[in-house]
C-alpha cells in the first residue's frame, strides 16, 4: 500500500535514474511558473525551465532538498511525479566561488568570441552558470 | 622442410598472439558488463520519454502546421544516413556488416534517384563509407566511444549537428543505422527512421493504459493537462527525443562492439590454441625425424667399417 499522503518522486537523467523516493511535496520550475506537486495532483505534463526542484519530504519540512536542473519535462499523475532532466546537480554540491570564476571566464570568452557560433556557445553556457549561481545564492543573478 | 628452429619461432609467436587475444577478450568482457549496466541505467529515461510523447501525441493531430520533425518537409528527396560504428576494429564483422548495410541502403536510394548524405559516428564506419562515397560524407564524429562510458553529451553533439542541418533544410529524411544489441552473440544492423519521427502510437498507448490503471484509481481515461500547450510541449519534446534515440543507439552499439570483440577474440584464442597444438606436433615429428636420421647415419657408418 502506498501512503496516500506522499507522492512518489522520480528524477531521471538520460544516463541513469538519480532519485526515486516518496515526498510530501515537490516544487518544480515550470516554464510558466513554479508549481507545487503533492499527492492527488491532477495529471499533467509540463515543460521545465532552468531552475531548482525542491523536495519537501515531511509535513512542515522547512529545509527542502534542493536540486538544480537544466530544464526538462515533468510528468505528473496523482501518485507519481517524474522529472526528466538532462542535467541535474544537488544545490549543496554547487560551488559558488567556482561558479563565479566560471562566469568571469565566460564573460571574457564572450568578449573575445570570433564568430557567431562561439558567441552563441558562450552565451548559452553563461545562462546555465547564471542559473546555477542564482540557485546557490537564492538571489536572481543577471 | 622447415627447420626445428623455424617451428620453435612460430610456436613462440603464436603463443604470444594468444596471450594478447585472450587479454583483449577479458578486457572486452569487463567493458561489456559496464556497457550493459549503462544501457540498463538509461532505460527509465527513455521509457518515461516514450510514455510522455505518447501522452502528448494522443492529444495532438499531425497537420501541416505541426513540427517538421513530425510532419516531415513534404519531400523525401534528400536522405541522411547516420552510421554508428565502433572506433576500433578487431571485432569480427561488427563494423563491416554495418557499413555494408549502409552502402546497400545508399545504393538503393540512389537507384531511386534520391540524394544521399552520410554522417558517420565511429572511425571504422567513416573509413569504410568513405572508400565508396567520399563526396557524400558530411561529417564524422570519432572518439566518442573511447572513454569507459558513453556521455550523453556526445549524443547531444551529434543531435545538434543533425538538427542544425535539418533546420537549414539540407535534408528531408534521416535514418539512423546502428548495430542493435540482441545478445552477446548477435548484433544486427538496424535502421531506424528519426526524421520525420514516427510516433509509436499503438504500442505506447497500451503501455500508457497499463501505467495509468496501475498508477491511478482515476482509470486510464483520466484527462491530462498540459503546460504550455500540447503543441509547444511536443515541439520541445521532439528534439530531446531525437537525442534520446541517438543516445540509445550509441549505448547499444557500444555494448555490441564489446560483445562482438569478445566473441571474435574468443575465437582467435581458440584458433591460436589449435595452431599451437598442430605446430607442436609437427615440431616433435621433425625432431624425431632428425634424431632417426642421425641414428641411421651413425649405424650405417659403423656398419661400413
Contacts of B42 in chain A (CB under 8 A): 14-16
Closest residue, chain A, to B53 (C-alpha): A45
Is residue A1 domain-resident? no
> Between A112 and B163, where is the model more confident?
B163
pLDDT at B304 over 50: yes
pLDDT at B205 over 60: no
Is residue A48 domain-resident? yes
Domain ranges of chain B: 4-26+264-304, 43-263
pLDDT at B154 over 90: no
Contacts of A49 (CB under 8 A, 6+ apart): A29, A30, A31, A71
Q: How many structural domains is chain A composed of?
A: 2
The nearest CA of chain B is from the CA of A34 a distance in Å of 11
pLDDT at B26 over 90: yes
Contacts of A12 in chain B (CB under 8 A): 44-45, 48
- B228–A80 CB contact, under 8 Å: no
- A78–B243 CB contact, under 8 Å: no
Do A69 and A110 lie in one domain? The reply is no
pLDDT of residue B211: 42
For chains A and B, count residue pairs whose Cβ atoms are closer than 8 Å. Answer: 92
Which range, of A126-135, B147-156, B216-225, B259-268, averages the lowest pLDDT? B216-225
Which class for A109: exposed (0-12), middle (13-18), buried (19 or more C-beta within 10 A)?
middle
- Cell triple for B147: 572513454
pLDDT of residue B222: 52
Given B44, B216, B247, which is nearest A12 (Cβ)? B44
- A44–B215 CB contact, under 8 Å: no
Do A85 and A101 lie in one domain? The reply is no
pLDDT of residue A98: 87
Which range, of B50-64, B91-105, B211-225, B272-286, averages the lowest pLDDT? B211-225
Is residue A41 domain-resident? yes
For B43-263, CATH number? 3.40.1380.10
Mean pLDDT of B204-214: 43
Given B48, B216, B226, which is nearest A79 (Cβ)? B216
pLDDT of residue B208: 44
Please check whether residue B209 is in contact with residue B140, taking contact to mean a CB–CB distance below 8 angstroms: no
Do A113 and A66 lie in one domain? The reply is no
Given B44, B226, B240, which is nearest A45 (Cβ)? B226
What is the rounded CA–CA span in Å between residue A82 and residue B45? Answer: 10
Contacts of A17 in chain B (CB under 8 A): 41, 44-45
The nearest CA of chain B is from the CA of A50 a distance in Å of 14
Q: What's the pLDDT band for B65 if we cut at 50, 70, 90?
A: low
Q: What's the pLDDT band for B298 if we cut at 50, 70, 90?
A: very high
- Cell triple for A112: 573575445
Given B49, B155, B212, which is nearest A84 (Cβ)? B49
Is residue A116 domain-resident? yes
The nearest CA of chain B is from the CA of A138 a distance in Å of 25
Please check whether residue B81 is in contact with residue B71, taking contact to mean a CB–CB distance below 8 angstroms: no
Domain B4-26+264-304 has CATH 3.40.640.10: no
Closest residue, chain B, to A84 (C-alpha): B45
Is residue A74 domain-resident? yes
Helix/strand/coil for A19: strand
Please check whether residue A24 is in contact with residue A43, taking contact to mean a CB–CB distance below 8 angstroms: no
Tell me what ipTM this predicted complex has: 0.76
Do A58 and A117 lie in one domain? The reply is no
Contacts of A13 in chain B (CB under 8 A): 45, 152
Q: Which positions of B are annotated as active-site residues?
A: 91
Contacts of A128 (CB under 8 A, 6+ apart): A50, A70
Do A19 and A83 lie in one domain? The reply is yes
Do A69 and A29 lie in one domain? The reply is yes
Is residue A24 domain-resident? yes
Average pLDDT, chain B: 85
| Contact residues, chain A to chain B, C-beta under 8 Å | 10, 12-17, 30-32, 42-47, 73, 75, 77-80, 82, 84, 86
- Domain containing residue A43: CATH number: 2.60.15.10
Is residue A2 domain-resident? no
pLDDT at B19 over 90: yes
Query: Which long-range contacts link A109-116 to residues 24+ away (Cβ below 8 Å)?
Result: none
Do A30 and A68 lie in one domain? The reply is yes
Do A80 and A129 lie in one domain? The reply is no
Q: What's the pLDDT band for B219 if we cut at 50, 70, 90?
A: very low
The nearest CA of chain A is from the CA of B281 a distance in Å of 53
What count of other Cβ atoms lies within 10 Å of the Cβ of residue B17? 16
- Cell triple for B217: 484509481
Do A36 and A60 lie in one domain? The reply is yes
The strand pairing partners of A44, in sequence order, are: A76, B225
pLDDT at B170 over 70: yes
Q: pLDDT 10s per residue in chain A (142 long)?
A: 444 578 899 999 888 888 898 998 899 998 888 888 888 888 888 889 888 898 988 877 778 888 999 888 898 888 889 999 888 888 888 888 888 888 888 888 888 877 887 888 888 888 888 888 888 777 666 5
Given B156, B227, B247, which is nearest A46 (Cβ)? B227
pLDDT of residue B220: 44
Q: What is the domain extent for residue A117?
A: 94-137
Question: To probe the interface with B, which of A14, A33, A76 has the most B CB atoms within 10 Å?
Answer: A14
pLDDT at B259 over 90: yes
pLDDT of residue A141: 61
pLDDT of residue B150: 84
Amino acid at each position: 500500500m502506498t501512503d496516500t499522503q506522499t507522492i512518489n518522486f522520480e528524477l531521471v537523467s538520460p544516463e541513469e535514474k538519480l532519485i526515486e523516493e516518496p515526498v510530501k511535496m515537490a516544487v518544480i520550475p515550470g516554464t510558466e511558473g513554479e508549481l507545487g506537486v503533492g499527492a492527488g495532483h491532477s495529471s499533467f505534463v509540463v515543460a521545465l525551465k532552468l531552475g531548482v526542484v525542491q523536495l519537501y519530504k515531511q509535513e512542515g519540512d522547512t529545509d527542502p532538498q534542493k536540486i538544480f536542473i537544466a530544464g526538462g519535462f515533468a510528468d505528473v499523475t496523482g501518485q507519481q511525479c517524474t522529472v526528466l532532466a538532462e542535467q541535474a546537480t544537488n544545490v549543496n554540491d554547487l560551488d559558488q566561488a567556482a561558479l563565479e570564476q566560471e562566469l568571469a571566464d565566460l564573460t571574457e570568452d564572450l568578449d573575445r568570441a570570433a564568430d557567431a557560433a562561439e558567441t552563441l556557445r558562450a552565451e548559452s553556457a553563461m545562462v546555465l552558470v547564471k542559473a546555477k549561481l542564482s540557485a546557490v545564492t537564492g538571489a536572481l543573478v543577471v | 622442410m622447415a627447420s626445428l628452429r623455424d617451428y620453435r619461432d612460430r610456436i613462440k609467436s603464436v603463443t604470444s598472439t594468444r596471450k594478447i587475444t585472450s587479454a583483449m577478450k577479458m578486457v572486452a568482457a569487463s567493458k561489456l558488463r559496464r556497457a550493459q549496466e549503462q544501457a540498463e541505467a538509461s532505460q527509465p529515461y527513455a521509457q518515461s520519454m516514450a510514455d510522455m510523447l505518447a501522452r502528448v501525441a494522443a492529444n495532438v493531430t499531425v497537420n501541416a502546421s505541426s513540427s517538421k520533425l513530425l510532419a516531415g518537409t513534404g519531400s523525401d528527396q534528400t536522405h541522411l544516413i547516420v552510421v554508428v560504428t565502433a572506433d576500433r576494429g578487431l571485432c569480427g564483422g561488427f563494423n563491416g556488416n554495418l557499413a555494408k548495410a549502409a552502402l546497400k541502403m545508399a545504393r538503393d536510394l540512389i537507384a531511386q534517384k534520391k540524394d544521399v548524405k552520410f554522417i558517420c559516428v565511429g572511425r571504422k564506419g567513416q573509413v569504410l563509407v568513405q572508400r565508396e562515397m567520399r563526396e557524400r560524407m558530411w561529417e564524422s564524429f570519432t572518439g566518442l566511444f573511447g572513454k569507459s562510458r558513453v556521455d550523453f553529451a556526445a549524443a547531444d553533439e551529434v543531435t545538434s549537428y543533425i538538427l542544425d542541418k535539418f533546420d537549414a533544410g539540407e535534408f528531408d529524411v534521416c535514418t539512423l543505422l546502428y548495430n542493435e544489441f540482441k545478445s552477446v552473440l548477435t548484433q544486427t544492423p538496424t535502421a531506424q527512421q528519426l526524421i520525420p519521427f514516427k510516433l509509436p502510437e499503438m504500442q505506447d498507448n497500451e503501455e500508457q493504459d497499463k501505467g495509468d490503471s496501475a498508477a491511478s484509481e482515476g482509470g486510464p481515461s483520466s484527462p491530462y493537462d498540459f503546460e504550455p500547450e500540447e503543441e509547444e510541449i511536443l515541439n520541445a519534446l521532439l528534439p530531446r527525443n531525437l537525442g534520446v534515440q541517438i543516445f540509445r543507439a550509441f549505448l547499444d552499439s557500444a555494448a555490441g562492439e564489446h560483445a562482438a570483440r569478445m566473441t571474435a577474440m574468443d575465437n582467435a584464442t581458440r584458433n591460436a590454441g589449435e595452431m599451437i597444438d598442430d605446430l607442436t606436433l609437427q615440431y616433435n615429428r621433425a625432431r624425431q625425424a632428425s634424431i632417426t636420421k642421425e641414428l641411421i647415419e651413425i649405424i650405417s657408418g659403423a656398419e661400413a667399417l
